[in-house]
Structure 1
Amino acid sequence: MTILSDVKALGQQIWLDNLSRSLIQSGELAQMLQQGVCGVTSNPAIFQKAFAGDALYADEISRLKQQDLSPKQRYETLAIADVQAACDVCLSEHQASGGKTGFVSLEVAPDLAKDAAGTIAEAKRLHQAINRPNVMIKVPTTDEGIEALTELVSAGISVNLTLLFSRAQTLKAYAAYQKGIEARLAAGGKVDNIHVVASFFISRVDNALDPTLPEALQGKVAIALAKAAYRDWETYFGSQTFQRLEAQGANRVELLWASTGVKNPAYPDTLYVDSLIGPATVNTVPDATLKAFIDHGKAAPTLTEGTDQALAQLEEVSKLGIDLEALAQRLQEDGLKQFEDAFAKLLEPLA
């Protein structure tokens, strides 16, 4: 038994927020799964780092550059192969859990964030190309991404909704998911194999707010926001309407805590893992945070503790004149820009 097994027993999956060819081929990813890691996420910044720093890509990149392909097609050839290989490593985890864990995520191109039709087309194309039961297609949770979600769920595709900072936007995403499930059931499709996670970003909230807050609230708001979002989740999926869909095989969207590496060195390095452990959730962690948590983290059901206090803290923030929904919008735009920049940087050496 490891601490990751303890977390799993409390109902939370720990995923690795990293992917590279070396990680897969060295057997390191398989070892992590044996320790209790349950899945993998990727994004343009992760692939950009992998292509630049992992020697295992060099020969294939040279070969791809001899072929009449666009830089994006070369990127997809590499990324799809990596995601397929990671899905294969995670398949035994996926099968052992009855298809509930062991997922690997690949993101649609960041320039499609404000294009619902483009997102739908690319997500369907990537899903078909990867052709693994445990792949999730990652879609940013803009209004257009939420619109795309309904169509993708109705087509039977599992989705990782990313760049969520807003409770209101998260509730809109749940409604869009439900609409997709209802459409698929109405068409006679099965829904028990469709899984959606809503990736709620944590540390970036504190990073943005701390300089403007009194000391008593610093390092507290992101966790308070997550606890409030979890209470929203309990209310939404505990409703009679959704329970009727559950009776027909529908799965609840699971909240996924993202950006859980600590950015402020004054905070404990496992703060955003220790504080957010609860049932039917995921925490996706970078390598350094995973190692720290295995070394000295604490497995305890913390997510549902102190929710009333968390709501009071959010009320204090509101009284300071801080609009958390406006902040969420700005942080999402910043995140989209970061991924667009990483994607452009990633494509440069493939041109």
Structure 2
Amino acid sequence: MNRLQAIRPFGQRIWLDNLSRDLLHSGELSRWINEDGIAGVTSNPAIFHKAIRDDARYATALLALKALPDLDAEQRYEQLVIPDIQAACDLLLDQYRASGGDDGYVSLEVSPELAHDEAGTLNAARRLWQEIDRPNAMIKVPATAAGVAALATLIHEGINVNITLLFSLAQVEATWAAHEAGLRARLADGLPVGQVRSVASFFLSRIDSLLDGQLPEALRGKTAVALARDVYARWQARLDSPAWAELSQAGAQPQWLLWASTGTKNPAYSDVLYVESLIGPRTVNTVPDATLLAFRDHGVAADTLSDPADSQAVLAGVAAAGVDVSAIGEQLQRDGLKLFDEAFAALLALTA
């Protein structure tokens, strides 16, 4: 068993934060699935911008799409990448089936331009879900107020959702409430709840990148992990509540926590910091290629989510330094939306 495979017995799944036609056609993604236990794939506008810009395999298909006069740039983009999403779903379908729906998901994001448009998000998510037409697809929706409201409706409709750009406990708690509301609506309508799935993507490295300059040296590089461990502890407590017990008895599955932005940005920190520090049951860590290779080389798998006591001390220190982590979470979400808007605009410039 290699180092990445050694994570699975602790109840965590590793997903790849990358997708391209080259990864699919070269067999690299298939090898990572078979040899390293990769159990899912995430994508975003920045990932597909890089793929379409750098991967020559898209060139011929893009030229053919540009010859069709009735397609706009976004439609061309979707027609380019939906086959990649479908192919990745097909590679992971055996895992999805063997795990009873716990593993094997592939995420595609709705347009970032819809971040504050609930109706637009719902329409786009429904359309992408139908066009991908795979049970192990997940539609990625940002955790704005509009996105969280859409989450409840999409879960009610049986559409798997990766709710993303979460940076604070308050944001995560809103997604938990929306997820549970969607499940209750399904139950009220007599619909099954066991197969609809969701993950809540909590972003890490961006938190430390923003805060480290505001903190004493002893706290630098620790806030993101402390926040994530606190979120996890509160998630476990929520799953022990009578309200969740009622849903669980009906067959509902919890919204797993997913650790995102796990590539270490500060070279002074371990390149596997955001993997080693956050391993525990019913979680996902989505890693870029470099982090995957680093953990395969020298990562250590252990249960590091069970005891959040040190996290409370770190968070107390952060608060004492005058940092409002809830306000920082709102700022980081706005910043993240802006980055995805810029990546999406650059992406559409390629397909215009």
Q: Which TM-score applies when normalising by structure 1?
A: 0.99
**Which residue of structure 2 lines up, in the alignment, with residue 18 of structure 1?**
18
Deviations 1:192-226 (A, max 9, x none): 11111000000000000001110000001110000
1:63 Cα shift?
Answer: 0.5
Work out whether 1:51 is the aligned partner of 2:59.
no
> Secondary structure of 1:226's match?
helix
Structure 2 letter corresponding to 1:267: Y
Select 1:286's aligned residue among 285, 288, 296: 288
**Which residue of structure 2 lines up, in the alignment, with residue 345 of structure 1?**
346
Work out whether residues 136 and 160 of structure 1, in 8 Å CA contact, stay in contact via their aligned partners in 2: yes
1:349 Cα shift?
Answer: 1.9
Work out whether 1:3 is the aligned partner of 2:8.
no
Select 1:260's aligned residue among 248, 262, 274: 262
CA–CA separation in structure 1 for the residues paired with 2:240 and 2:160? 21
1:91 Cα shift?
Answer: 0.7
**Which residue of structure 1 lines up, in the alignment, with residue 310 of structure 2?**
309
**Which residue of structure 2 lines up, in the alignment, with residue 328 of structure 1?**
329
> Secondary structure of 2:39's match?
strand
Work out whether residues 3 and 298 of structure 2, in 8 Å CA contact, stay in contact via their aligned partners in 1: no
CA–CA separation in structure 2 for the residues paired with 1:317 and 1:187? 45
CA–CA separation in structure 2 for the residues paired with 1:334 and 1:33? 32
> Secondary structure of 2:274's match?
helix
**Which residue of structure 1 lines up, in the alignment, with residue 99 of structure 2?**
97
Select 2:89's aligned residue among 73, 87, 90: 87
Gaps spanning 5+ residues in structure 2: where?
A: none
**Which residue of structure 2 lines up, in the alignment, with residue 238 of structure 1?**
240
> Secondary structure of 2:4's match?
helix
Deviations 1:299-323 (A, max 9, x none): 0001123x12211211111122111
> Secondary structure of 1:37's match?
coil
Select 1:142's aligned residue among 141, 144, 154: 144
Give the alignment of 1:54-65 within 5 angstroms: 54-65=55-66
1:240 Cα shift?
Answer: 1.2
1:293 Cα shift?
Answer: 0.3
CA RMSD of superposed structures (Å): 0.7
CA–CA separation in structure 1 for the residues paired with 2:248 and 2:267? 43
> Secondary structure of 2:178's match?
helix
Equivalenced residue count is 350
**Which residue of structure 2 lines up, in the alignment, with residue 182 of structure 1?**
184
1:5 Cα shift?
Answer: 2.3
> Secondary structure of 1:199's match?
strand
1:30 Cα shift?
Answer: 0.8
Divergent runs of 4+, >3 A: none
Work out whether 1:295 is the aligned partner of 2:297.
yes
CA–CA separation in structure 2 for the residues paired with 1:10 and 1:321? 36
Gaps spanning 5+ residues in structure 1: where?
A: none
Work out whether residues 205 and 221 of structure 1, in 8 Å CA contact, stay in contact via their aligned partners in 2: yes
